[in-house]
Amino acid sequence: MKKLLSSTLLALLLSVSFSVKAGDYDHYYHDMPVEVKKVITFSIPEHKVSIRDFGGKGDAVTLNTDAFAAAIAALEAKGGGHLIVPQGVWLTGPIELKSNIDLHLERNAVIFFSPDKSLYIDPNPKANRVLACIRAQRCKNISITGEGTIDGNGAQWRPVKRGKVSDVEWRRFKDMGGVERQDGSLWYPWELKSGYPDIAPTPEKQEGKRNDIFRINNCENIFLQGVTFQNAPKFHVHPFNSRNIIIDGITVRCPWNAQNGDAIDLSDCHQAIIVNSIVDAGDDGLCMKSGEYKKDALVNGCEDILIQDNTVYHAHGGFVIGSEDICGMRRIVVRDCSFSGTDTGLRFKSAIGRGGKTGDIFISGIMMTDIAHQAIVFECNYANRPAGVKDDEPVAQPEKLEKVPEFTDINISDVVCRNARIGIAASGIAGLQCVHGITISNSTIVYDSKATEIDEKTAEVKLVNVNLVPNRK
């Protein structure tokens, strides 16, 4: 009888913890400077299974790829439900989520992705990438919840620049095996001592195949809450062409030297909210991207996005738009966030060949400390430099004047920044209206080197009640 009562109580507790109540996020949309379409909450069927029910073992040795697939298939056959991952270290290859599935990690549960790169080879011969650690395509109602950790084991994939690590760290990488390039200034995880096979003919080509931890395409209704995403081979959280996305209280972390280690990237997404999350990343922190128009995509461009109450520690930029914004971005609100120790604070970056129109952007209440470069920056000649491209090596520019970036109707207010090397920087492209209609108001920036670097010939930036103060230390 006691056992029955305990089981019933556990089921009730799980049911409560998994419910997503309607209206939970409505209060975030009060006093909006522009009308932004609200996210819509959804529910997952109450069926529950444990990964252990399908032969899974959290012993850090057993490969659980088949167990995850079988558990998800069983839930899918029932119309969906919750896959429970208990305490343990669950070694696995790639996981494919399906509609109406919640992946729930209990406290001290770690999903650890295998270093065997061959497990991630996409069976589609036309695919340029390998499979993401966790993926879904054209699905509805997907969630990842709980208090556990999802570890992408990214050191097995990422190149490392010598100048970004200590002597001790560099010896650790070399002890893994690998090869060095550029006179010993760049290390690739190639022919590692672990003995797992490489999946490309050269380390450079393998580097181009790095995968994301969470990458979904053309999905609707996504809910991420509570979990930690860490140590991605490339990006951590990366929805594509998807709609109605709720990201609440997650943590994203990786080494600051992680090449392309973006934290949260929304690529061509509509109707999204990112709140209460913590980021410590190797590249962009909270980033909006928009690539080429896709005729069969669920959505194109970025629209109706609210970002609020987040903290970003290290990142190349705290909040970033670009470098791709081809299909444009509109109705994006960012407010009440803090950036501490990021390379730049608010960063807008694009270039000819990868630009579009970005407007109706409202940013306010951003608190910054110890920004290595610019607190606010607009740049229209951004050059993507993969690990194998030296900083002084010229990057090929597009021959055609098309897909020109345009940053306009952007309002930034109530920013407080202590210790940025440069306060505000902006430059467009001669003869083109790339940066115009930008207003920065009611803000204080304490700078170390220079108050502004605004090219008035190519960039129109209006400063209203902006206090630029030299740092006297």
Over residues 371-428, the pLDDT tens digits come to 999 999 999 998 776 676 666 666 566 777 899 999 999 999 999 999 999 999 999 9
CA dihedral 418, 419, 424, 427 (to 10 degrees): -150
Q: What is the pLDDT of residues 98-150, one digit of tens each?
A: 999 999 999 999 999 999 999 999 988 777 779 999 999 999 999 999 999 99
Least reliable range by pLDDT among 139-143, 203-207, 356-360, 396-400: 396-400
Residue 195 lies in a domain: yes
Q: Is the pLDDT of residue 304 over 90?
A: yes
Query: Could you tell me if residue 30 is inside a domain?
Result: no
Domain termination residue (choose one: 209, 231, 248): 209
Shared domain for 187 and 324, answered yes or no, is no
* Residue 346 C-beta-side C-alpha neighbours within 13 Å: 31
pLDDT digits (tens, 9 = 90+) for 237-250: 999 999 999 999 99
Task: Please list, residue by residue across 200-234, b when 16 or more beta carbons sit within 10 angstroms of its beta carbon and e when fewer do.
Answer: eeebbebbebbbbbbbbbbbbbbbbbbbbbbbbbb
Domain that includes residue 174, residue range: 159-209
In the predicted model, what is the mean pLDDT of residues 179-202? 95
Position 134 in a domain: no
Q: How far is CA 250 from CA 152, 247, 272, 364, in A?
A: 15, 7, 15, 22
383 in any annotated domain: yes
How many domains does the chain divide into?
2
Is 353 in the same domain as 471?
A: yes
Per-residue confidence (pLDDT) for residue 6, from 0 to 100: 42
Pairing of strands 220-225, 160-161: unpaired
In the listed set 185, 209, 233, which residue is the last one of a domain according to the structure?
209
pTM beyond 0.85: the answer is yes
Taking every pair of C-alpha atoms in the chain, what is the biggest distance, in angstroms? Answer: 80
Q: Residue 14 is encoded by which pair of tokens?
A: 């799980």
Is residue 7 included in any domain, yes or no? no
Give residue 13's pLDDT band: very low, low, confident or very high (50, 70, 90).
very low
Establish if 235 belongs to a structural domain: no
Q: What is the DSSP letter of 172?
A: H
pLDDT the model gives residue 5: 42
Q: Cβ–Cβ contacts within 10 Å for residue 335, how many?
A: 20
Q: What mean pLDDT do residues 158-180 have?
A: 95
Contact partners, residue 5, CB within 8 Å, separation at least 6: none
If asked whether residues 200 and 323 sit together in one domain, one would say no
pLDDT value, residue 18: 46
Same domain, 345 and 201: no
Determine how β-strand 278-280 pairs with β-strand 251-253.
parallel
Do 326 and 458 fall within a single domain? yes
**Domain termination residue (choose one: 209, 237, 267):** 209
Query: Is residue 396 in some structural domain?
Result: yes
Percent of the chain surpassing pLDDT 70: 92
Residue 127 lies in a domain: no
Other Cβ atoms within 10 Å of 185 Cβ, number: 12
Measure the CA–CA gap between 49 and 104, rounded to whole angstroms.
Answer: 10
Which is more confident, 8 or 383? 383
Average pLDDT over residues 348-352: 96
Give me the CATH number covering residue 464. 2.160.20.10
Whether 9 has a pLDDT exceeding 70, the answer reads: no
- Compute the mean pLDDT over every residue in the chain, rounded to the nearest whole number: 93
